[in-house]
Amino acid sequence: MKITVFGSGYVGLVTGACLAEVGNQVMCMDVDQNKIDQLNAGIIPIYEPGLEEMVKTNQAEGRLHFTTDVKEAVDFGLFQFIAVGTPPDEDGSADLKYVLAVARAIAENMSDYKIVVDKSTVPVGTADKVKAAIHTVLDGRQASIEFDVVSNPEFLKEGSALDDFMKPDRIIIGTDNPRTAELLKALYGPFNRSRERVITMDIRSAELTKYAANAMLATKISFMNELANLAERLGADIEQVRHGIGSDSRIGYSFIYPGCGYGGSCFPKDVKALERTAQEMGYHAELLSAVENVNDRQKHRLFEKISGHYPNGIQGKTFALWGLAFKPNTDDMREAPSRVLLEALIAAGATVKAYDPEAMHEALRLYGNLDGLVYSATQAETLVGADALVIVTEWKQFRSPDFDALNQQLKDQVIFDGRNMYEPQIVKQYGLQYYAIGR
């Protein structure tokens, strides 16, 4: 099949590469000429395990193409995927200007039947707005061209996006046209071989399903962080509690890891957008507000623990910071807890020596030559001259450090662990003080 994908960011690039991987002809369109030039030169603008190899392979075999030409892109595919950004507006609602701009561009250039697929995470009712935008342009052209608008939300986790696309838990198709549903089922046939993963529903339900999924996962995280804060006050160990409740099949182990808060491009934005949608409907979504408030508060917990350990302040102290990305296996620092922490430390007069396996270039883009922030080339380099160690991202390579060496290198012999990576008793055996979350 021939497929056009508007947007070559995270969702668009993964979608295009994976659809090409199973034999389709795919054209990714983006207005950013520099990004398209880089992609055509084999330079991938984001880090995602396996993505660079998949893009290069499908480019070399002639199945994956990149362009800035809107007309070429619209002419190319029967399926027109919209995978552009929906950044939060000032009031927390999703900004649809890029989605609707693509819809109008498709309408201005289409000459035959198209299936317009909303892949971006968009509020309930967006498909109606996309449909109206296309009708308006076609009416202005005095053109009578058939089209359908479909909601097909993505469920990609950064760090495992290729697996999520190639081996999905579910494929949601929201449409009011049975024929269109069959065409989408055919498109997703290669990803649906071992069992039936396609779930068809009405468009509005499909749009809400995406927000509901992210809000549910964010709720589990905030709930566990709330319990972790309570466990500290009760003298309980939240990690033991986690094992105890996770063994209940009704609860499970996924997304019940306490820590220093969630971040990224999805959960914070989507919880706010769903809360805003509820307000527009005249409904006060108390739980969503609480989820967001608990997470915002949790991002300050590490700084609170550090401040508690240093009652005379941290002016002049140097902190080794392991982890900048909001989670492992990505370079994404959007809404990352590390940003809240390092900004607070520097504002209090401390120096931060930061290291992340993938996000160093992103940190440099965000902070430049910020006074008090030192970019370290390795995790070992962060420890040189450091008073304390702070862990914010649970990268695998941080799991088994040399605690003897840490005892010798850290002037104040203290670790602040925002991801509960170590057993407290083991760390303390090496003469180190250890602060974790809920332990």
Residue indicated by tokens 């509960």: 420
Q: Pairing mode, if any, of strands 318-322 and 388-391?
A: parallel
Residue 301 CA to residue 146 CA, distance in Å, equals 55
Residue type, 205: S
Residue 321 CA to residue 312 CA, distance in Å, equals 21
Q: List C-alpha distances in Å: 132 to 125, 126, 139, 337, 350.
A: 11, 10, 10, 39, 54
Phi, psi of 171 (to 5 degrees): -125, 110
Q: What does 249-293 look like in DSSP terms, one character per residue?
A: TTT-STT----S---SSSHHHHHHHHHHHHHHTT---HHHHHHHH
Residue 81 CA to residue 151 CA, distance in Å, equals 10
Residue 353 CA to residue 409 CA, distance in Å, equals 14
For the annotated catalytic residues, the residue numbers are 266
DSSP β-bridge partners for residue 150: 117
- Our measurement of the distance from residue 28's CA atom to the centroid of its chain's CA atoms, rounded to an integer in Å, reads 21
Residue 365 CA to residue 358 CA, distance in Å, equals 13
